[in-house]
Structure 1
Amino acid sequence: MKKIYKISLVLLILLSIIFGYIQFKFNSTNKAVMDYLIDSEGLSKDSLITEPFMANLSGSKNWMVSVKIEGDSKTYYYYLNRENKVVLESYVENGVEKVMD
């Protein structure tokens, strides 16, 4: 019985670490994008709707944030590159995606 409890405890700890890492990446990426848009682009926090997500892309592009700006029909997708700089990866307008180079 003790072996089952130990295995369960180890699995619970591993799952907690994985979940915590994912939440950390979501929060840190979202905060960096919000700070960039507010400080560098001069947008107000109230005009932004952000949603962090896993993009299933390679490297740092895996952790992305979708951004809707009040009064703008486009949806923008940002990520943090290896130098921790916010980069616009693509945007969608009228159902058509434009990938930035």
Structure 2
Amino acid sequence: MKRQDEIMTADRKSGVLSRLATFVGGVFIGWCAVTGGTDLWRSLQAGRFLNRRGPDIFLEDAPLVFWALSGFYGLAVLLAGGLCILCLLIALREAIGKTAP
């Protein structure tokens, strides 16, 4: 009987770490989404993508490439925001203790 109690205690401890890891992961993904959205907004306002390994991409020079990159980055930011909300909701559900029906 003692062995079963030890196993249940170990499961409870890992549950706390799991909740914390899910919450921290969600916050980190959210921070990355906000940072990416801010950079995307600045690029759209300036009409220039800063390319760190090559020449910058200007709206006037290559509008098709500029808008393709804008759409790709915008989709990535939206997906990261959705993943952030999903992780935070999972962490909240685990913290409250509700289970799926």
Instruction: Report the TM range for the smaller structure's normalisation.
Output: 0.3 to 0.5
Superposition TM-score, scaled by structure 1 size: 0.40
Query: Taking structure 2 as the reference length, what is the TM-score of the superposition?
Result: 0.40
Greater length-normalized contact order (CA 8 Å, ≥ 6 residues apart): 2
Bigger Cα Rg: 2
